[in-house]
Amino acid sequence: MTAPKLADALATAQVVFDKATLEAAIERMAGEIRPAYDDGEVPLYITVMNGGLPFAAQLAFALGERGLDLEFDYLHATRYRGQTSGSGLAWLHRPATSMQGRKVLLADDILDEGHTLLAVRHWCEDQGAAEVRIAVLAEKVHDRCVEGICADHVGVRVPDAYVFGYGMDYYEQGRNLPAIYALGD
């Protein structure tokens, strides 16, 4: 099946957050997160691929500017697989670094229904993480979120529509758009 075209989606999509607003939100988040690591322990910074990549990079620099060192690793768990609705979670890569006794900071693009980050957080806890903190660029506002998950740090709240850009894909396209768009009707 050929994927719907990004250009067609952009023709009717709305910009919900532009680049300047997102950059400011990430700076604010870094300011909020920094004091959680004042004890000098280096957190294990886990990027949730693929969508979390641009946000995680920007947040890492903003934390570095505030004097916080991070140890990097990543995981890839996906339940949308290039589609606009989710199904079962598939783990494509697990971090190689031991989490035993570590403070883990997860960076992802979006908390939508919460299944992905709930499973990821449980996995980190099962691996012996001493603490798991979650930072997401966007949280979707609706009442379908699973019980037992919330983000500790949120950049922006997005409406209940399929969103893309700034790491998030439209059929694996548009991840490097420097704004968040909501898909039109």
Ligand X SMILES: O=P(O)(O)OC[C@H]1O[C@H](OP(=O)(O)OP(=O)(O)O)[C@H](O)[C@@H]1O
DSSP string covering 46-114, please? EEEETTTHHHHHHHHHHHHHTT---EEEEEEEESSTTSSS--S-EEEE---S--TT-EEEEEEEEESSS
Based on its alpha-carbon atoms, the radius of gyration of the chain, rounded to whole angstroms, reads: 16
Least Å distance, CB 182 to ligand HPA, is: 8
Q: How far is the CB of 34 from ligand X (least distance, A)?
A: 24
Residue 139, binding choice from ligand X, ligand HPA, none, Cβ under 5 to 8 Å by partner class: none
User: Minimum CB separation from ligand HPA for residue 79, in Å?
Assistant: 8
Q: Rule CB under 6 A: choose which of 16, 62, 163, 177 binds ligand HPA.
A: 163
Nearest approach in angstroms of CB 114 to ligand X is 5
Q: Which residues are paired to 139 by β-bridges?
A: 111, 157
Nearer to ligand HPA, 135 or 163 (CB): 163
| Catalytic residue ranges | 112
Q: What are phi and psi of 118, to 5 degrees?
A: -65, -50
Closest to ligand HPA by CB, 129 vs 168, is 168
Site for ligand HPA in 56-115 (CB under 6 A): 80, 110, 112
Pairing of strands 131-140, 153-158: parallel
Residue 168 binds to ligand HPA (criterion: CB under 6 A):
yes
Encoded one letter per residue, x for contact with ligand HPA by CB under 6 A and - for no contact, window 14-53 reads -------------------------------------x--
Q: Which amino acid is at 32?
A: E
Number of H helices and E strands in the chain, helices first, is: 4, 9
For the record, the structure tokens of 12 come out as 């009717």
Query: What residues line the site for ligand HPA (CB under 6 A)?
Result: 51, 80, 110, 112, 162-164, 168
